[in-house]
């Protein structure tokens, strides 16, 4: 049984058996085949990228062989889905196959996504399709490049089977890495089943592993969760990212972007952008995300009264809006190169967003093109847009004396537009074209660079890719 030189430990299994089910992967499909692997993610767990060429790699990271003698497990949790209590959920298509201690001393979860059914699969098949696997693989790297906290992806392995969704699709297994996959829903699970001692045990585990300086101080710990969540939302909003399914079981206790499904990066700026076509009520629209994160934090707080007095929970929740606004304001100022504080800066930012919404200007390019010629920026708003011209004049006057040389290191040229992700998916599924996947993978890992010859991937979609839709099955 290979271990690829990893320093494996199993800390989560030290919790009582109520927290998980020990089980092997289902070994989905036949003759698993490595499609792509991520050297940067490998470094996070101390894995030598030379292991990618080992035939055993595809076996282990598809679930066909265990990772040494690690006892793999599926976690149980519950959650609110679209604002409604859904009861017990859990790792329905995910399996923790290892926890690796890297040279820096960090312990990382190694989790397979799509390796088969678990006791928590409910009516699901435990599989993942190539489409959703490629999207998460690329997007988690894009978010990491933007310095937004996220899970990471190590590899894509084709399972060489067909998986039934709206239609049959090729299956795949994603290996996902995170310091922890513990969610708000883990705490809700035990609170709503009146197992308050388990809530305490879980909090003690999380604090000991990830907040050791706060051990025993539940109030400070919850305050840190609020802060990380607020700052995560600010990062999403500033880069124009919509998650699509912000259920409490998809919210990380460490403030990571977790569970990439029907996500979307903003193209034409629309504050009420809905990236998930099954979200018919717009609960998880782009402009709703900060408020929904606060709602989810309240749901988490509701599960913690055995640890933290109600007034202290309320006080921590009350810090959320100021934390969010402070971080968001700092990020937006950086996107415009506003270093020194001047009266009217917030109005300048707000006016730009209003202009973008009216003109349906491209979100990312509206910031990126500020570092170029005025004509390229004005073209985003339509010829003869006098309001845009007037705003640009005010902006140029305001930034006299500011150093704008760093704008291209703040505003990405490339975001993972749905059509770009779809290009990678079609290349792999239709033609076995890994070169296109690799090309796009390199773009999202270095999104601020120019990448001569790949400029088309920085543009809005071509006509045949204008109406792509993604849903929870994505």
Catalytic residues: 249
* Distance of alpha carbon 357 from alpha carbon 363, whole angstroms: 9
Can you read off the two tokens belonging to residue 112? 């397979």
Which residues lie across from 359 on neighbouring strands? none
Q: CB–CB of 141/445 below 8 Å?
A: yes
Alpha carbons within 13 angstroms on the beta-carbon side of residue 273 total 24
Q: CB–CB of 25/57 below 8 Å?
A: no
H or E element in which residue 133 lies: helix 130-145
CA distances from 73 to 12, 48, 63, 112, 436 (A): 9, 25, 12, 10, 35
DSSP line for 156-196: EEEEEEEEESSSEEEEEEEEEEES---BHHHHHHHHTTT-H
* Distance of alpha carbon 209 from alpha carbon 179, whole angstroms: 9
User: Long-range contacts for 160-167 (Cβ within 8 Å, ≥24 apart)?
Assistant: 160/29, 160/30, 160/31, 160/32, 160/33, 161/28, 161/29, 161/30, 161/127, 163/125, 163/127, 163/128, 163/129, 164/125, 165/129, 165/473, 166/473
Q: CB–CB of 306/196 below 8 Å?
A: yes
Q: CB–CB of 6/47 below 8 Å?
A: yes
* 68-105: burial string, b at 16+ Cβ within 10 Å, e else: eebebbbbbbbbbbeeeebeebbbbbbbbbbbbbeeee
Helix 386-398 to helix 345-359 angle (10° resolution) is: 150
């Amino acid at each position: 049984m290979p271990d690829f030189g990893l320093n494996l430990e199993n800390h989560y299994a030290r919790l009582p058996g109520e927290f998980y089910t020990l089980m092997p992967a289902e070994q989905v499909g036949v003759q698993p085949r490595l499609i792509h692997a991520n050297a940067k993610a490998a470094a996070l767990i101390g894995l030598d990228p030379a292991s990618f060429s080992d035939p055993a790699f595809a076996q282990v990271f598809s679930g066909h062989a265990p990772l040494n003698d690690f006892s793999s497990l599926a976690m149980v949790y519950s959650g609110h889905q679209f604002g409604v209590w859904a009861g017990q959920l859990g790792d329905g298509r995910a399996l923790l196959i290892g926890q690796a201690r890297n040279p820096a001393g960090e312990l990382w979860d190694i989790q397979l996504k799509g390796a088969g059914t678990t006791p928590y699969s409910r009516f699901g098949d435990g599989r993942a399709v190539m489409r959703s696997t490629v999207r998460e693989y690329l997007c988690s790297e894009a978010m990491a490049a933007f310095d937004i906290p996220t899970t990471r992806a190590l590899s894509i392995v084709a399972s060489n089977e067909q998986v039934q969704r709206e239609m049959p699709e090729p299956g795949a297994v994603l290996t996902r890495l995170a310091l922890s996959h513990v969610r708000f829903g883990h705490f809700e699970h035990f609170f709503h089943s009146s197992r308050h001692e388990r809530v305490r045990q879980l909090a003690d585990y999380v604090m000991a592993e990830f907040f050791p300086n706060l051990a025993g101080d539940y109030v400070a710990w919850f305050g840190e969760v609020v802060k990380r969540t607020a700052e995560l939302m600010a990062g999403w909003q500033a880069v124009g990212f919509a998650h699509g399914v912000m259920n409490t079981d998809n919210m990380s206790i460490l403030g990571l972007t977790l569970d990439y499904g029907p996500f979307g990066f903003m193209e034409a700026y629309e504050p009420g952008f809905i990236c998930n076509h099954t979200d018919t009520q717009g609960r998880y629209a782009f402009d709703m995300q900060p408020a929904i994160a606060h709602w989810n934090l309240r749901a988490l707080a509701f599960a913690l009264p055995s640890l933290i007095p109600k007034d202290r929970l309320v006080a921590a929740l009350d810090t959320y809006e100021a934390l969010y606004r402070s971080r968001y304001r700092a990020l937006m100022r950086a996107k415009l190169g506003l270093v020194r504080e001047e009266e009217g800066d917030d109005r300048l930012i707000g006016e730009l967003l209003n202009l973008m919404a009216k003109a349906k200007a491209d979100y990312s390019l509206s910031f990126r093109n500020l570092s170029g010629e005025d004509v390229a920026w004005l073209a985003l708003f339509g010829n003869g847009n006098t309001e845009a011209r007037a705003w640009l004049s005010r902006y140029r006057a305001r930034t006299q004396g500011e150093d704008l040389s760093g704008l291209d290191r703040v505003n990405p040229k490339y975001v993972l537009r749905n059509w770009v992700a779809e290009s990678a998916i079609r290349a792999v599924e239709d033609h076995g074209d890994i070169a296109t996947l690799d090309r796009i993978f390199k773009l999202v890992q270095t999104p601020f660079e120019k990448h001569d010859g790949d400029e088309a991937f920085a543009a809005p979609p071509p006509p045949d890719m204008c109406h792509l839709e993604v849903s929870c099955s994505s």
